[in-house]
Structure 1
Amino acid sequence: MADSPLAGRVVIDLTSALAGPYATLLLAGLGARVIKVENPLNGGDQARGNAPYLSEDGLTLTRRSPRDMSVSMLVRGRGKQSVTLNLKHPRGREVFGDLVRRADVVVENFSAGVADRLGIGYDFAARLNPKIVYTSISGFGAQGGPGSGKAMDTIVQALSGLMATSGDPGGPPVRSGLPLADLTAPLFAVVGTLAALMQAERTGRGQHVDVSMLGALTSLVACEPFDALEAVGLPARTGPVMPRLAPFGIFPAADGWFAVCAPTDGFAHGLLKAMGREDLIEEFRTRDRRVERADRLHELVAEWSSARPLREILDLLTEHGVPAAPVRDPATAVRDPLVLEREEVVPLSHPRYEHAGELYGTGVPIRFSAARARLETPAPDLGEHNAEVYGGLLGYSEEHIRELAEDGVI
């Protein structure tokens, strides 16, 4: 991918699970050579053990053959090379150091302090390669966090305040089905990594990029003034509607659900016309009037829509210029011809089986006018590229590689 933005850059990927691997997936999609370092003693990235698996016969809940691969790895491992390396072995640090000398970036998502305890933290890497950009993604940042400091997506959703922004007033907290903490932190990590690479080009010095899942997600929660809303009597949690932007929310049709976003006068009046209720335009003429009467307005919309088929509702709203869309399930959404054409979602492929059960995974949702962003190769087997990386990139002899394998280093 010589025409990609990060062509020629080498990334050493020490990550596992989701947050770290998603960051390195994006870097791979932008053209970097991502070398995924996996522990040979525990089966590598824990995502390799996530059900379901893709087998020769299709999707299965359990692995039936060593050739089967988890769908998680099919998605997150694309565009990467896999090498095995036991970082706890006395010689593992030496091999890691050789990788660092030839790299531009290291990305890790160990718990805070683990990389330093292993002797492979930023200080070690910077001594070997002063220009290295060393990116850490952790639950609570380099300083650690409460309790054990262990962070799972749901824990971070709870701590960030996100769970208290969704659901009905007075109801229980609502966990987002999408692992937002695991997916938000890597986006900021990639931004930080690219910024640090630009600075390193200018100064000749790399640096440590430190991103926490809690900080990343809480920063997004802080983009909405929830505390200010409550101070003036507007609830932070409003269920399927948003009274301060009425008419705005999710409403039932006879055969499904749809979303409407009509906060402006023109959109709101268009909705009333689509409903055949021009007589209500004066009552709801201004935004302030609609906010004051939001409950009544939303009840009128739901009453009108619930007896009508979704297609009829959407046609009427489109005719009157009202922003609206059906609520789609994920399987339908990822097969949208528009996102497929733009390669924002792409078909998955298995490294050995010819089919992938018509499965789809994330692409690189960035289009360039003079570059390519694409995940070219399927996810690798554990240690598939040992010879290519250790022999080709590091220049180790076949005998040396064999010795390292026999000694349990790789």
Structure 2
Amino acid sequence: MAITFRNVYLFDLEASARQSHAAKNSKVKPGKKRKQKHRKRNEAVVPDPFELAREAEEAAQQKLLQDEMDAVGMAGMLPLSFGSTKQQTKPLSRRQTPQYITFDDDGEGVEVDPPVVPILRKRPLDEETPVEEDDAQGTNAAVLPPHKKPTRIHPSLQKYWAQRYALFSKFDDGIEMDHEGWFSVTPEVIAAHHATRIACDVVVDAFTGCGGNAIQLARTCRHVIAIDLDPTKIAIAKHNAGIYGVADRIEWIVGDSFAILPRLHHVDVVFLSPPWGGPAYLSQQKFSLQDMRMGRHDGIDLFKIATALTKDIVYFVPRNVDTKQVKLLQDPERDEVVEVEYNYLNHKLKTVTMYFGSLACRTYDADVEGSDVVDGEQDGDEDILCTVEEQ
């Protein structure tokens, strides 16, 4: 029995660029504004002699018109100018009350009451045609609007919102996620890497969540069986798969994987990505598979149930997992190899993936769309496989 370790470096340059661009557009640079205002205050205003002469001529004409209207008793009844004018430099001494007049047969002006103008109100929407929600999408109040930033984001989700394009490259096309999905969805480049290595006929995604892994598996496998206990998550995953155009290759099952897996047949690979317990798992020095609780079962029980279906298993676990527990998942009577893969994304260790059966140490095409895969040490060392024999 042997354990093989591999480092895989993935790069999602497109998502990083889009996130940086979005961050720049959302931030205002107050220093630049203050500098512009300061510059405006220091600019010297030089009067134009031609402009001063024109303003003096206009003032004289206005005075002449005012005197003529005062002479005929029509002061304030007619406008003295038309079109747009410059804002007056001095405020009016008092606000004039508008007058409404008519003329009698002798041409004398007579003041009358102002006309009554009816108030027009916006017509409300017809009550007979209410807007109905699509029941197929489920009713989850925690689903955040996909097209634009919500007016209020829960503080625990702020950093995940900034990483939305790393989770789904087509996020702006209408991707949906519930609260838990924001911190449990596999980054798309890592999910695509898994799908490239798994590439088979029939694969089971035992904990599909919002569909990140199932979508990528459907791009390399003929048939994907996606299972989740939460019907709302299945509805969200189905919606997201439709955006990527792979929903027709995925079979959706609402139920408990511990009860469904033993009833399946003719499965090539089982992909296990059970809940890690939320972001709190990072506070542990070592993440234990036995602490991964799913009802009365733990992470080791889950693996044993999956091995009854197939020996080719992919176990997706946190980056701080205790790799010594791999021995608890191996059959001591079988001479087999287990591959522990450390997944780096943009030079940061994100997750760990364990491959069992024929998937361990399999040669694969490392070209993943939208990413740059470097299979080896970060400094370019050629020897990337380190086989550790059991002592």
TM-score where L is the length of structure 1: 0.26
| Structure with more relative contact order (C-alpha pairs < 8 Å, separation 6 or more) | 2
Give the number of the structure whose alpha-carbon radius of gyration is greater. 2
